[in-house]
Amino acid sequence: MEKIPGKVFLVGAGPGDAGLITKKGYDCLKTCSCVVYDRLAGEELLELVLPDCQKIYVGKRAGKHEKSQEEINQILVDCAKKHERVVRLKGGDPFVFGRGGEEIEVLQKNGIEFEVIPGITSAVAVPECAGIPVTHRAVSRGFHVLTGHIGKTNPSTGEEPDSLEYLMFRQLAREKDTLVFLMGLGAVERITERLMKEGMPKDTPVAVISEGTTLYEKQVRGTLLDISQRVKMEGMRSPAVIVIGENAKKCYQSGKTTSLRVGIVGTKEFEWRMKQELLQEKIGSVCVCRMEVIWEKEQRNRLSEILQRTKEEQNLSAFSWVIFTSQNAVRLFFTLAEEKHIDHRSFAGLKFAVIGNATGEELRKHGFEADFIPEDASVKGFFKEVKDQIKEGDRLLVPRAKRGMERWEKELRALSCEYEMLPVYDVEGRPTSHFQRVPELTHLIFASASGVEAFFEEQKRRKQNLPKDICMICIGEMTAEKLKEYGRSPDGVSAVHEAGGIAAELKRQTISFTSIYS
């Protein structure tokens, strides 16, 4: 048999929280050229792959399969012929109801090299993160993991499921160990009825955890007798883990719990910083509408001309100050400077002003300290404080975002000095998979006016209604003004143009938090 050059890695994505993937699985995703993933693999994990990585969705859920297992098997074979490193990303662990064994058999048959990278199975991790131990020396010394896909009685013929299934439930009903059912949300009633019929006490504790370890996690506790009704009342979604036994009434969780769900509307970089701040403050976060930075071609060419002249003349003598309004502006300015092979000594004598400590930190990454950072990191505060720094005859270069320029034009004119403002980039919205669940959020954070605009335009396109009780927080006055244009007044405005300012605003509004990982 001719050996196929590609290698397939069966990677377990873990129980839902992207942070619970193994280090080896994380590294594998960052180097693969093709990823074949299912619906339980978090969107955050797909962002780890290389820009040109091929992504193939083969998700399955009850009643709807995007691809049959046979089709998935063939996709893996075809991908291994085209790509050197293929990741088959599977929720939980590849060998726990993940049909990983079947896929490996096909790979072996076709002479394809493979490697299994285990994942944390939801059978243990989801109850654990909900405070439920699947074993406890004083209560349950073992546990059983079972599929929730049990047989149904045929309503037209009255035919019963396989008798072996009844024997299995008869044995399980006598067990003192913990029972864990996966993929069984739609079968809660049948499972509990079967166990009671076979003799398990009706008051046996049961816990059902929906979308465990994610921002949308829900828990319902009860007994065999009432749990199915409780699940229906809560409107829980799959995937769900069902835990049955005395351990199901335990709850080993530290601190107070809250249903706080925070949505972020901003760039990828802002989202990352925001998550760090919110996790540090024990607040959950989720990106609702990612904003992508886009070059404005005409203004980019103008900035390119300025930097080319700088290269030829060995200095940026036409300007005395460069003012950066955001981290994006800093990154784009120096990216273009690197493309032009600008010697940093050409910037000697040039002063840099930035709005906000985060923008100053980004400037520091490129080897420069800001000459001026206002104490009040708002547009109004910046111009009030910078007046004492700018001298008569100074000329300012302001590379910035396309939107929100009117306020800057007015303030710059008031300085009575020469300036050139270049709207070198714009941002546009790209909704993530979380957008459809915006109505379930308790808070929305808007990082910019363009983010507000993109968010509400996407809502309008989807004909989605936004609940009136969602708390909305904005960075800066211009963002707040844009929100008002859409008929919503901000519940809080952070004058500090960085993630820490927003986290402080949230902390001011809320007394206690819990860790809800996205």
pLDDT digits over 133-156, tens only? 999 988 898 999 998 877 665 555
Q: Is 437 exposed, middle or buried (0-12, 13-18, 19+ CB in 10 A)?
A: middle
Q: Provide the pLDDT for residue 263.
A: 86
Q: In this prediction, what percent of the chain has a pLDDT beyond 70?
A: 86
| 51 or 191: which leads in pLDDT | 191
Retrieve residue 222's tokens.
Answer: 């009860």
Given pLDDT bands bounded at 50, 70 and 90, which one contains residue 495? low
* Radius of gyration over every alpha carbon of the chain, rounded to an integer in angstroms: 28
Poorest-confidence range of 142-156, 181-195, 445-459, 482-496? 142-156
Given pLDDT bands bounded at 50, 70 and 90, which one contains residue 451? confident
CATH number where 466 lies: 3.40.50.10090
Shortest CA distance to 446 belongs to which of 489, 405, 406, 409?
489
Same structural domain for residues 156 and 206? yes
Statement: residue 430 has pLDDT above 90: no
Same structural domain for residues 334 and 421? yes
Q: Tell me, what amino acid is at 395?
A: R
Q: Provide the pLDDT for residue 514.
A: 30
Statement: residue 513 has pLDDT above 50: no
Same structural domain for residues 276 and 338? no
Q: Provide the pLDDT for residue 498.
A: 61
Average pLDDT, the chain: 85
Retrieve residue 376's tokens.
Answer: 């009040």
Domain with 444 in it:
262-293+429-509
Given pLDDT bands bounded at 50, 70 and 90, which one contains residue 284? low
Q: Provide the pLDDT for residue 11.
A: 97
Same structural domain for residues 15 and 103? yes
| 264 or 205: which leads in pLDDT | 205
Report the SS3 class of residue 145: strand
How does pLDDT run across 200-256, given as a tens digit for each residue? 999 999 999 999 998 889 999 999 999 999 999 998 999 999 999 999 999 887 654
Report the SS3 class of residue 445: strand
pTM of this prediction? 0.75
Tell me which residues are annotated as active site.
38, 60, 183
d(CA 88, CA 5) in angstroms, rounded, equals 16
Same structural domain for residues 187 and 96? no
Per-residue pLDDT averaged across 332-358, rounded? 88
Same structural domain for residues 405 and 478? no
Same structural domain for residues 330 and 419? yes
Same structural domain for residues 423 and 300? yes
Which segments within 152-234 are labelled E, that is strand?
A: 178-182, 205-210, 218-223
Q: Provide the pLDDT for residue 90.
A: 94
